[in-house]
Structure 1
Amino acid sequence: MATKHYLYYVEGEDDKKVVDTLKKDMKLIIPGIARVFNVVENVLTNSRLITIKENTTVILVFDTDTGKVDKVKKNIEILKNSSNVKEIICITQVKNLEEELVRSCNIKSAQELTSSKSLKNYKRDIKNITNLDKKLKEHNFDIEKFWSKNDSVYEREGIKNEAEKIKIN
């Protein structure tokens, strides 16, 4: 039987840092490769598709704050037509990563995780933090609350949050 592969497409470096921490350090989600690619703003190209290994489950992690569904739907269609893609899993970050962190941790703003002075600093700081798993644990991170909401705009378009498929219980 062919080896299963998992590929996460995430919006930015801060999302990649969180996904890498959840899979490697905390072992809360299925391991796989995380690559920065914004499926809300960009359309997958053939040169990107040929790098996908056979029998790969592609996990699209994206913010819902823009309400733009057209390119997400186009990317899902492109992936469905790719012979190497076994399954596509969508994870809607309602409305964005920062809100997901507030919802799943005992914090009032995402900046509390990194002790950042502003949101701009937070984005920089979270990428550079070496102990994100420890910081998440300190703030009572709850994987059950993380990626647990559906966005009504995306849901109407048939795009549901399927995070439960990659969470490790």
Structure 2
Amino acid sequence: MKREQYHYFVEGEDDRKVVNTLKTDLQWIKPGKVQVFNVIEEELTSLITRTLKPGTIVVLVFDTDTGKKNTLLKNIRFLQKDSNVKQVLCIMQVKNLEDEFLRSCAISQIKELTGSKSNSDYKRDLLRQSNLADKLKKHQFQFEKFWNSSDKVYESICNDSAQIKIKK
């Protein structure tokens, strides 16, 4: 049986780091290629999707804090028409990645996750983490709470996180 191909489009380098940690170090989500591309702000083109293998399941990971969904909806329709794309899955980070961690870890401020001096240093420090999986475990990361919320502005878009999470 042929293994399904997944391709993740994430907003930034911090999202890439988290997705790579979840799929590789922790093996909690389906494996696949991770590419930085902000599907809320930028429109996908055939130049980008041409590299997808036939039958690829595309996973769009995006923040909901901007409230913008028109470009996202265009991207979803574009991908659904692409001959290489088998399925499009949407993963909402309500409001953003930091809020997802605040909901799913035993922390009250995001700086606690990375041991940063301030909340504004968190992103930089997250990218420097050599073992993010250990930091998540240390702060009692509850994966079942991660990517498990929805946003009223995006209620027409289903949060498909359950389809990429690996049941243990």
Residue 6 of structure 1: aligned partner: 6
Residue 119 of structure 1: aligned partner: 119
Residue 36 of structure 1: aligned partner: 36
Matched, 1:92 2:92: yes
Mapping of residues 99-118 of structure 1, within 5 Å: 99-118=99-118
Contact 1:151–1:160 (CA<8 Å) still a contact in 2?
no
Alpha-carbon offset, residue 164 of structure 1: 0.5
Root mean square deviation, CA, Å: 1.1
Contact 1:41–1:71 (CA<8 Å) still a contact in 2?
yes
Q: Which runs of 5+ in 1 are unaligned?
A: none
AA partner of residue 76 (structure 2): I
What per-residue deviation string (whole Å, max 9, x for no partner) do you get for residues 69-95 of structure 1? 000000001100100000100001000
What per-residue deviation string (whole Å, max 9, x for no partner) do you get for residues 48-105 of structure 1? 0101111100000000000100000000011001000001000010000000001000
Q: What is the DSSP-based 3-state SS (H/G/I as helix, E as strand, rest coil) of the residue aligned with 2:35?
A: strand
Matched, 1:161 2:159: yes
Aligned length: 167
AA partner of residue 38 (structure 1): N
Alpha-carbon offset, residue 117 of structure 1: 2.0
CA distance in 2, matches of 1:110, 1:165: 27
What is the TM-score normalised by the length of structure 1? 0.95
What is the TM-score normalised by the length of structure 2? 0.96
CA distance in 2, matches of 1:4, 1:29: 13
AA partner of residue 109 (structure 2): S
Residue 136 of structure 2: aligned partner: 136
- Structure 1 stretches of at least 4 aligned residues deviating more than 4 Å after TM superposition: none
Contact 1:91–1:163 (CA<8 Å) still a contact in 2?
yes
Matched, 1:51 2:51: yes
AA partner of residue 160 (structure 2): E
Alpha-carbon offset, residue 3 of structure 1: 4.5
Q: Which runs of 5+ in 2 are unaligned?
A: none
AA partner of residue 40 (structure 1): I
Contact 1:3–1:55 (CA<8 Å) still a contact in 2?
no
Mapping of residues 138-153 of structure 1, within 5 Å: 138-153=138-153
Percent identity of paired positions between Structure 1 and Structure 2: 54
AA partner of residue 107 (structure 1): I
CA distance in 2, matches of 1:22, 1:13: 14
